[in-house]
Amino acid sequence: MSKPKYKQGKQIRSISEFESSKCLWYKWRGRTTHRAVLISLQYRTLRDAIKHGVIYTAELCEEQRKGEE
């Protein structure tokens, strides 16, 4: 099994924090998810996920950064 490309970053704590974030990739339910997927969710679903603390920014792992240089 390959190593994950992204790791869990900062927790998103509010809808306004999600809206102002410039991040394109997020961790949701343990998976890396593109911002567009989260935006397409019903508002209630996104709000509840943030309220329960399960949405995080996704940060590129160190091994991936070294490979890009």
DSSP H or E segment with residue 50: helix 43-51
DSSP H or E segment with residue 48: helix 43-51
pLDDT at residue 7 tops 60 = yes
- Per-residue pLDDT, 69: 57
24 within some domain = yes
Mean pLDDT of 16-25: 96
pLDDT in tens, 24-67: 999 999 899 999 999 999 999 999 999 999 999 999 987 666 66
Q: Is the dihedral of CA 15, 53, 47, 31 positive or negative?
A: positive
25 within some domain = yes
Domain with 63, as residue range(s), is: 6-68
Q: Across the strands, what pairs with 55? A: 28
63 to 5, 21, 38: CA distances (angstroms): 8, 24, 26
1 within some domain = no
11 within some domain = yes
- Per-residue pLDDT, 64: 64
The number of folded domains in the chain is: 1
Side chain identity at 14, as an amino acid letter? Answer: S
